[in-house]
Amino acid sequence: MVFGMKPGLEERYSRQVLFAGIGAEGQQRLLESRVAIVGCGATGSVLASLLARAGVGSLRIIDRDYVEPSNLQRQVLFDETDAAESIPKAIAACRKIAQFNSQIVAEPHVTDLTPENADQLLGGVHLVLDGTDNFETRYLINDYAVKNSVPWIYTAAVGSYALTMNIVPSETACLSCLFPDAPSGMVETCDTSGILNSAVNMAASIATTEALKLLTGAREQLRTTLLSHDLWLNQRAEIAADKPRAGCRTCSQKQFVHLAGAGRPHITLCGRNSVQIHEHHRAVDLSELGKRLQPHGSVRHTDFILKFLKEPYEMTLFPDGRAIIKGTTDTALARSLYARYIGS
């Protein structure tokens, strides 16, 4: 038996322990590791699945969204029942993980990562993984990681395109080094360009491998580039990211503007014509609210969410007061609908 490993785990991870790059010592490190995954959609669900199967001891899964039928083409931890019941992704993911690896801790957080809760959600982990769909949240992760010297891995996929980059504060370039500002103009999303599940799996598989290197102490094997690969066009590129950029506002000047909450906007969600209202942090009794909304439209609710349909809009409300307004990208209209039916 491998020293220090609980009974039954030696067989579970035997093929991984046989791999020379990990071995028994590396597997023990994985079992003792704590990882936060921000976003559990396409890339995030693959990341969570692979790391859970690899035996990472504690996974903190953070996602603000719920499962829909369109997710099932690429989001590997969910099934038709999750979509039919609109289960929050973080909860559905942790339930599924418990079915194939009950010996690790999978901790769901149904919320949006914000400057106010970043310390609570990202504190105490060894690594942060990016499963998000927007640069605003990625810059927030970058600020937190650089300020607190926590490594993180940027990962994205859209269309047939996959890309990822390791960020080790004070050693490599950070996100702001390569992207001082968020992309402007027309930006591809899975809503406008679609997405191949193979691109998702490639991006997440590469990021997971880099995570295993970091967590097992194999830092000399880390890739120090921004890697991009278009599976459909067979195009591959790498940009050097081995050193911080002189004058970078984040890792050089230590200006953490996103962590300070400067200019934080409402976020239009990937794959839907919708706006999230996340400025109201207050407890909501979903059952009581459902009764109040019943005369005004179609209502159904579970312990996790309430759905209110008032054509042409659909409102999904969470117990913390956060809401997703589907049917518009106009934040002023979304805020008005929230105030009208939920309260200001």
The predicted structure's pLDDT at residue 46:
98
* Tens digits of pLDDT across the chain (344 residues): 444 566 667 899 999 999 999 999 999 999 999 999 999 999 999 999 999 999 999 999 999 889 999 999 999 999 999 999 999 999 999 999 999 999 999 999 998 899 999 999 999 999 999 999 888 899 999 999 999 999 999 999 999 999 999 999 999 999 999 999 887 655 667 766 789 999 999 999 999 999 999 999 999 999 999 999 999 999 999 999 999 999 999 999 999 999 998 656 555 555 568 888 876 667 788 888 888 898 989 999 888 889 999 899 999 988 888 888 999 888 788 888 888 888 75
CA dist., res. 336 & res. 339, Å (int) = 5
The predicted structure's pLDDT at residue 216:
98
The predicted structure's pLDDT at residue 190:
74
Look up 251 and say whether it is catalytic.
no
Both tokens assigned to 271: 């794959």
Q: Which of 177, 190, 248, 270 is catalytic?
A: 190
Domain ranges of the chain: 33-240, 274-341
Backbone angles phi, psi at 326, to 5 degrees: -100, 135
Partners of 61 in the β-ladder = 37, 108
CATH number for the segment(s) 274-341: 3.30.310
The predicted structure's pLDDT at residue 1:
41
Please give the CATH architecture assigned to the domain spanning 33-240. Answer: 3-Layer(aba) Sandwich (3.40)
The predicted structure's pLDDT at residue 267:
54
Answer yes or no: are the C-beta atoms of 198 and 231 closer than 8 Å.
Answer: yes
Burial of 181 (0-12, 13-18, 19+ CB in 10 A): exposed
